[in-house]
């Protein structure tokens, strides 16, 4: 039996889909069987970021309506044989989701995979509620800015009241990824510190991802940034997926810029 993780954020554009693609690939490269499911029906993006645009034949809605089997709809990644992808429907909208069908789909995926990662849509509407309904855990992606944090706070509040696990008296594990950190701005006080974010959201920190221009290019090319060994964001996703697979990986403090450290050393010799 696998674990079902919903990747949520509340606000759009903070990097949910990028994080989903990179973590899925990271888990696959660690040798665990993983499936990523795009729940953003009507606005699917995950296929492009994974570089699997042209392979989509059947989508999730067709599987739920039993027009296709799960096996037919699953798309294998070009990079890792352990990673599979289930596309969202681009022509339908979020109203096609129904609780019993979602539960059936997730239960069938849980049997075959170690990790089932659900990419939630932005916002807190019915599409979001169906994504979190049957999740065992949630990864909350935020940017270090106040609007993103407030929206994430709201999304966590809904998770804590509407998830199936909570209704049965259990707890949904919640982990935080802080995305797009700029070390210089944190040092100068222009950007929120991760300690402050953790204080507000009060959930466990899974990892911090620095701002990296390479992410956009990687998405455009359909090669997730985790494959780029030189990219600092890619290295961060390697560490985070290692943690998800149960490895002990120390938190790297990316909030101190290298130039700052260098300048301090220079300052000592002045």
Partner 1 sequence: MKNNQYSVKVFETTINDEEQFIAFFDSNHALFQDHLIVIHGDLSPRIEEYLEFRSLKYIHNVALPKGRSRKALEEELLLRERECAISMQIAEAKLEKLSTRLQNNLMVMDTMVRSGRELSIDGDLLLLNRVNSGATINISGNLIITKLVEGAIRCNGNFMLLTASPKANIIFHGVEVESELLENKLNRVELKNNEIIITPVLEKEISWA
User: What residues make contact with partner 1 under the rule CB under 8 A?
Assistant: 146, 150-151, 153-154, 156-158, 160, 199-200, 202
Name the burial class of residue 145, with classes exposed (0-12), middle (13-18) and buried (19+) by CB atoms within 10 angstroms of its CB.
middle
For partner 1, the closer CB: 112 or 160: 160
Alpha helices per DSSP H over the chain: 16-29, 46-49, 60-64, 70-73, 99-112, 126-133, 146-162, 164-167, 183-187, 194-201, 214-221, 232-244, 258-269
Give the neighbor-by-neighbor strand order of the sheet with 75-76.
75-76, 83-86, 34-38, 115-119, 3-8, 137-142, 173-181, 204-210
Minimum separation from the CB atom of position 231 to partner 1 (A): 33
* Sign, Cα dihedral of 78, 83, 58, 5: negative
10's torsion region: left (phi>0), alpha (psi -120 to 50) or beta? left
Minimum separation from the CB atom of position 174 to partner 1 (A)? 12
Of 70 and 186, which has the nearer Cβ to partner 1?
186
Q: Considering beta carbons, is residue 112 or 187 the nearer one to partner 1?
A: 187
Our CB check for partner 1 shows the closer of 158 and 182 to be 158
Name the residue nearer to partner 1 (CB basis): 131 or 219.
131
Q: Which of 240, 248, 266 is nearest to 115 (CA)?
A: 240
Q: Nearest approach, Cβ of 187 to partner 1 (angstroms)?
A: 13
**Which residue lies nearer to partner 1 by CB, 95 or 202?**
202
Name the DSSP class of 250: P
Q: Name the minimum Å distance from CB 248 to partner 1.
A: 29
CB of 154 to partner 1, least distance (A): 4
Residues in the chain: 270
Helix (H, G, I), strand (E, B) or coil at 33: coil
Q: How far is the CB of 124 from partner 1 (least distance, A)?
A: 8
């Amino acid at each position: 039996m696998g674990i079902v993780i919903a990747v949520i954020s509340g606000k759009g554009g903070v990097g949910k889909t990028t994080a989903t693609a990179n973590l899925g690939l990271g888990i696959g490269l660690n040798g665990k069987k993983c499936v990523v499911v795009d729940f953003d029906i009507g606005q699917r993006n995950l296929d492009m970021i994974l570089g699997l645009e042209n392979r989509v034949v059947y989508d999730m809605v067709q599987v739920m309506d039993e027009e296709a089997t799960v096996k037919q709809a699953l798309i294998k990644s070009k990079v890792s044989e352990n990673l599979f992808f289930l596309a969202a429907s681009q022509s339908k909208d979020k109203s096609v989701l129904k609780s019993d069908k979602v539960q059936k789909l997730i239960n069938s995926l849980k049997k075959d995979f170690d990790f089932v990662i659900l990419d939630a849509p932005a916002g807190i509407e019915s599409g979001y509620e169906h994504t979190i309904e049957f999740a065992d855990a949630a990864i909350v992606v935020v940017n270090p800015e106040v609007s993103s944090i407030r929206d994430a706070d709201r999304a966590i509040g809904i998770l804590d009241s509407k998830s199936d696990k909570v209704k049965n008296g259990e707890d949904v594990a919640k982990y935080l990824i802080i995305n797009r950190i700029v070390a210089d701005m944190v040092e100068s006080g222009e950007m929120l510190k991760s300690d402050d974010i953790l204080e507000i959201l009060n959930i466990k920190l899974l990892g911090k991802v620095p701002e990296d221009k390479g992410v956009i290019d990687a998405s455009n090319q359909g090669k997730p940034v985790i494959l780029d060994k030189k990219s600092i964001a890619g290295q961060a996703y390697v560490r985070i997926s290692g943690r998800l697979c149960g490895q002990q990986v120390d938190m790297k403090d990316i909030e101190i810029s290298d130039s700052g450290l260098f300048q301090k050393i220079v300052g000592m010799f002045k």
